[in-house]
Chains A and B, each alone.
Chain A
Amino acid sequence: QLQLQESGPGLVKPSETLSLSCTVSGGSISSSSYYWGWIRQPPGKGLEWIGSIYYSGSTYYNPSLRSRVTISVDTSKYQFSLKLSSVTAADTAVYYCARLTHYYDRGAYYCYFDYWGQGTLVTVSS
């Protein structure tokens, strides 16, 4: 059974850089069938896609966060990571990592988040 686990500081000071890692276990991080993504959820609010990365290192970012986000992957450690710079209180959220499965089948394209980490709360405060 695939498992994802977020790790990183739960408290970050304003203007600093938020850094999280996601460790993948029970499956391959290098398969061509998957992207790996970060999604966040401010307290009491909805889900926001932050970005996704392919095992090759190709990245896709939410345009609203692109200037502050870096996602990287280390296949040897079965990890991918998120860095969000110049954080403010608005970046306080539960951050989830997830697997984005994508494939073609009989002419149809499928793409969905099918495995998620449990989420980690990151609070931005001095």
Chain B
Amino acid sequence: DIQMTQSPSSLSASVGDRVTITCQASQDISNYLNWYQQKPGKAPNLLIYDASNLETGVPSRFSGSGSGTDFTFTISSLQPEDVATYYCQQFDNLLQLTFGGGTKVEIK
């Protein structure tokens, strides 16, 4: 089974700050990694697919990078509407999809 370790589990930052979240896979997953945003009481929303591709309509302050086992998700300038929990998800094996544990982002 491929495990996804996401860190930190939570963070607090000021508006305008650069925020970075990491996701580590237990084995090489190439660039088969997506990032989702989930606001309280809502379904997750796709932000980044295939490690670095920005989904249509998603603000450019969101970005992703990485390949192999180590991946990074960045918010270049944190906005109040970015308060949410962010999840990575691997799809190296269609027979087994895995989400990371999530990172809760709050405003300081």
Chains A and B belong together in one complex: yes
Q: Is chain A's binding surface mostly helix, strand, loop or mixed?
A: strand
Interface size class of B (residues with CB under 8 A): 20 to 34
CA A49 to CA B91, docked complex, whole Å: 11
Contact B101 A49 (CB under 8 A): no
Residues of A within 8 A of B97 (CB): 37, 49, 52, 100
Judged by a CB distance under 8 angstroms, whether A26 is at the interface is no
- Residue from the list A52, A100, A111 in contact with B32, Cβ < 8 A: A111
Additional A-B contacts beyond A113-B44, A113-B89 (12; CB < 8 A): A46-B100, A47-B89, A48-B99, A52-B94, A62-B96, A100-B97, A110-B49, A110-B53, A111-B94, A112-B49, A113-B34, A116-B44
Instruction: Write 28 A-B pairs (CB below 8 A) sorted by A numbering.
Output: A39-B99, A46-B87, A46-B99, A46-B101, A47-B44, A47-B87, A48-B99, A49-B96, A49-B97, A60-B94, A60-B95, A63-B1, A108-B31, A108-B50, A109-B32, A110-B50, A110-B53, A111-B34, A111-B91, A111-B94, A112-B34, A112-B46, A112-B49, A112-B50, A114-B46, A116-B43, A116-B45, A119-B43
